[in-house]
Amino acid sequence: MSFSNSLELLSFHWMAYTIYAFIIISVVAWFGYNLTRKEKVKSLVRIPFYGYMAFLVAGGVGHHIFTYNVVPWVSEDITRHEITPDKTYDITIKAHQFYLPKEKMVIECGEKVMFNVVSEDLVYGFGLFRQDHTMVTQMQVNPGSRNDLLWTFNHNGVFNLMSTEYSGPRGNKMFIKDAVEVRGCDTTVAMLEGGIQ
Amino acid sequence: MTLIDGVNFKPESLSALQKVTLRAVVMSFLFYGLASIEGMIMRVASVVPDIPPVHGEPEHFFSIMTVHPIIGLFGSTYQLVFAAFMFLVPYLTKKPLYSVKLANVVWLLITIGSATAWIAAFIWQYAPLYTLYWPLPADTNQFKTIGGIVFIVGVALIMFGTFGFIYNIYATIFARVGIHKNKTTKELLISGFGIDGMLNLFHKLTGRPPYTKEPALSLPVVAIFRGTVDTFLDAVVILGAGILVLVYLVADGIGSPLDLAAIDALLYKNWFWWGLDLVADGLVLIYVAGSWYLLATIITGQKLFMENVARAALMLELLVSWMVWSHHLLADQGQPEMMKLVSGEMVTAFELLTQGLALFITLVTLWKARPLKPTMELKYLLGGLVGFGLAVPAGIIQADMAMNRVLHNTQWIIGAHVHIAIIVGLYMTLYSVVYVLWPLVTNNATLWSKKLSNAHFWLHLIGGIGMGAFMGMAGLDGMLRRHMYFEGEYQTYMILAGIFGSMILLAWVLFMVNIIMSVGLKGLVGIFLPAKDDTASYGLDPEPGLVKA
């Protein structure tokens, strides 16, 4: 099992969390109903206290272990300083304006791309979005510190660039259409204009 | 006439302690209404940006977004929690409140402070949001200096009020009168931090008699004691940030601007989130756990299940709450990876354990006492459990390096996590407290309508979960939490979130109608008139079964 893009991961997450939400609402509703009945209902299952605690620990820690193993961008992010990127793009943000490289950012399928973003004044965000507004990836952009995002693109697409952090009302216009293009992949999911990543 | 006179509420019969409690509660629910209206304006503007008073202007939209949490969290939640605790601590410890005058100063400072911050955003459109990411709050290219100064003064007043509350609580707990006449400060400290619970567990494991059979402080007081440590630290950090911003704004105002780059933005972010996160992960979770324990023992009239474990867990929560702030910085690439892993992911995951434990203990305590009457306080308590049962895992899921990369700053975190935690989890717990305290603080005034109480319950519960859910779904589809959309990008989700949001607003209207009809307009005014009875305690021996957790 592996998630190659955010859409796959978030679809799985949507399903898992929705099931969980219905379970927890049902459990408390069941408790509420039976707490007030005169006939004492027997417990459906006996959950040992330490078993419950172990379940919570396993859930909390296991969640991270699971995503580390099935979501490729986690290990890539942690070890990004040891990885030589195929391409590096230096981007500057100043006074609510993105200053992109002169040449259009065109990426071949499977390339590892480093986005080095510098802010010269405020805290901004750097986020790539599909044409249907779903998010591909993002990072915060702090002035005075390193903001480097390594990303591997596995699907074709043309992506818009937005600031994902609030930087005052003027920041609401920080949007560049079709800032990044990925091409050359065999797999293009046609359901979205501009493809999927 | 009921509207004028109420049902049978007699404000002149109230003591000073009861009156000061009710004053803060009234202000709290007025601010809650304001926050609900602000929330609905933003919900509607997410569908129709041109709606007045936003008029399609980001300046206006973000001004509202800036004051919304100030009004909602400080003006309303802080007031309500502080009022309840300044009544409960004397009630549970069977001692008078240290100072009723100080309690009056507290609600006045928080009320004036919240209103002042609101005015700064309303008049000057000062809108750095509650996050105050450096150097945005000192950015005089976007914001007027006077607006910033007024806003910071407002927040500072709220924090001074918070310090007043903290002093009052600790002065009451440490007062060596009544049942604590022979207790030492050390004994009260050990009990306050839950260390006696830990020692009891340790003694049990090593086959020794318990460290103490009767802890100096009851469990809800321990939770208040513990949560107030985080409230103090949080207030210090927020006030510190305010002073920093104020220095820069004043310098700019007198024509000698300071270098904004002198403050490291990432370091500031760490420091600010360490303090701010204490509100969410320290203060709320600990206060809420304590409230659940209190409510469970009052509703059932029985001892809390696994009390020593609960005491020890409160101590654990103290350490956890101080070490989790990095989950807010998982998208910051300059943040050391080890801090992301340890603080942001692993320690944060322990909140699942501590809150799961509180939920377990509360449910088992209720379960062992069944059958119970389906009272409003029980219903709201169960609603509160559902709220945190939904919201805590939603937050833990995002406190993960994989998920955070695609969910950070989206509507997921503010909808599925924050709003469900506050509106459903926290507020339903607080409504349960309100229903428990109602007869105590009003001298058994009769509620006007039980039907309205039930309507309020269901509208609030369904509205809160529904709004949070659809905001969360919009977040999964990429909708940012701090962005104004003009092209109808997430319209379906926002319409649905707006419909459920309007249920929350309607619930508040029904609640207020019920309360006003119960106490009457005369009673409402009477609450704010001076008390004839200056008693600062309540019923020194009402029902021992209730005050012993």
CATH at residue A163: 2.60.40.420
Do A58 and A91 fall into the same domain?
no
Does the beta-carbon distance from A61 to B143 stay under 8 Å? no
Domains annotated on chain B, with CATH = 2-327+344-547 (1.20.210.10)
Cβ distance B266 to A52 less than 8 Å, yes or no, reads no
- Residue B529 gets the label, from left (phi > 0), alpha (psi -120 to 50) or beta, of beta
Window A:128-157, CB contacts with B under 8 Å: 129-130, 132-140, 142-149
* Cβ-defined contact of A35 to B390 (cutoff 8 Å): no
Same domain for A46 and A84? no
CA distance A159 to A181: 6
Residues A27 and A64 in one domain: yes
Determine, yes or no, domain membership for A103: yes
Distances in Å between the alpha carbon of B502 and those of A24, B175, B353, B460?
Answer: 25, 46, 34, 10
Closest residue on chain A to B345 (Cα): A64
Asked whether residue A48 is domain-assigned, the answer is yes
Distance from CA of A106 to the nearest CA of B (A): 22
Cα dihedral B92, B94, B98, B100 sign:
positive
Same domain for A100 and A49, yes or no, is no
Statement to judge: residues A65 and A154 lie in one domain? no
Tell me: do A53 and A100 sit in the same domain. no
A130 to chain B: which residues are within 8 Å by CB? 478
Helix axes B427-441, B285-300, angle to 10 degrees: 50
Residue A102 DSSP symbol? S
The two three-digit tokens of residue B124, written as one number: 């000057």
Between CA A168 and CA A172 the distance in angstroms is 8
Are B487 and B56 within 8 A, CB to CB? no
Tokens of residue A185, six digits: 């992949």
B50 touches chain A (CB under 8 A): no
Instruction: Give the strand pairing for A175-183 and A157-162.
Output: antiparallel
Residues of A in contact with B345 (CB under 8 A): 64
Whether residue A28 is found in the same domain as residue A102: no
Minimal CA separation from B200 to chain A, in Å: 18
Q: Is A108 helix (H, G, I), strand (E, B) or coil?
A: strand
Q: Are residues A135 and A57 in the same domain?
A: no
The answer to the question of residue A168 being in a domain is: yes
| DSSP H or E run through A118 | strand A112-119
| Domain match, A33 and A95 both | no
A194 found inside a domain: no
Q: Is A32 on the interface with B (CB under 8 A)?
A: yes
The reply to whether A48 and A84 lie within a common domain is: no
Residue A87 shares a structural domain with residue A177: yes
CB B124 within 8 Å of CB B146: yes
Q: Please spell the DSSP secondary structure of B297-341, one letter per residue.
A: HHHH-SPPTTHHHHHHHHHHHHHHHTS-GGGGGTT-TTS-HHHII
Enclosing domain of residue A19:
6-70
* Domain end marker among A70, A94, A109: A70
- ipTM for the predicted complex comes to 0.94
The residue of chain B with its CA nearest to that of A163 is B483
List Cβ neighbours of B530 (8 Å cut-off, separation of 6 or more): none
A112-119/A135-141 β-pairing: unpaired
Question: Domain count of chain A?
Answer: 2
Instruction: Write the DSSP symbol of residue B536.
Output: -
Taking each helix axis as running N to C, give the angle between helix B285-300 and helix B348-368, from 0 to 180 degrees, rounded to the nearest 10. 10
Task: State pTM to two decimals.
Answer: 0.94
Same domain, A173 and A88: yes
Best CA proximity match to A159, nearest among A187, A135, A184: A135
CB-CB neighbors (< 8 A) of B265 in chain A: 123, 142-145
With contacts defined as CB-CB under 8 Å, which chain B residues touch A31? 363, 366-367, 382
Enumerate residues 50 to 79 of chain A having a beta carbon within 8 A of any beta carbon in chain B.
52-53, 56-57, 59-61, 63-64, 67-68, 71, 73-74, 77-78
B482 interaction partners in chain A (CB closer than 8 Å): 165-166
| Cβ within 8 Å, pair B136-A123 | yes
Q: Give the end of a domain, one of A22, A43, A70.
A: A70
Q: Are A78 and A52 in contact (CB under 8 A)?
A: no
pLDDT in tens, chain B (549 residues): 789 999 999 999 999 999 999 999 999 999 999 999 999 999 999 999 999 999 999 999 999 999 999 999 999 999 999 999 999 999 999 999 999 999 999 999 999 999 999 999 999 999 999 989 999 999 999 999 999 999 999 999 999 999 999 999 999 999 998 888 888 999 999 988 888 888 888 888 888 988 887 888 998 999 999 999 999 999 999 999 999 999 999 999 999 999 999 999 999 999 999 999 888 776 778 899 999 999 999 999 999 999 888 888 888 888 888 999 999 999 999 999 999 999 999 999 988 999 999 999 999 999 999 999 999 999 999 999 999 999 999 999 999 999 999 999 999 999 999 999 999 999 999 999 999 999 999 999 999 999 999 999 999 999 999 999 999 999 999 999 999 999 999 999 999 999 999 999 999 999 999 999 999 999 999 999 999 998 898 876 544 433 332
Chain A partners within 8 Å of B386 (Cβ):
24-25, 28
Is residue A131 a part of any domain in this protein?
yes
Q: Which residues of B touch A122 (CB under 8 A)?
A: 133, 135-136, 139
Pairing state of beta strands A148-152 and A97-99? unpaired
Amino acid at B155: V
B379 φ, ψ (degrees, to nearest 5):
-60, -45
Q: Which residue, A21, A50, A70, sits at the end of a domain?
A: A70
Whether residues A144 and B265 touch (CB distance < 8 A) is answered with yes
Handedness of CA B27, B30, B36, B42 (dihedral sign): negative
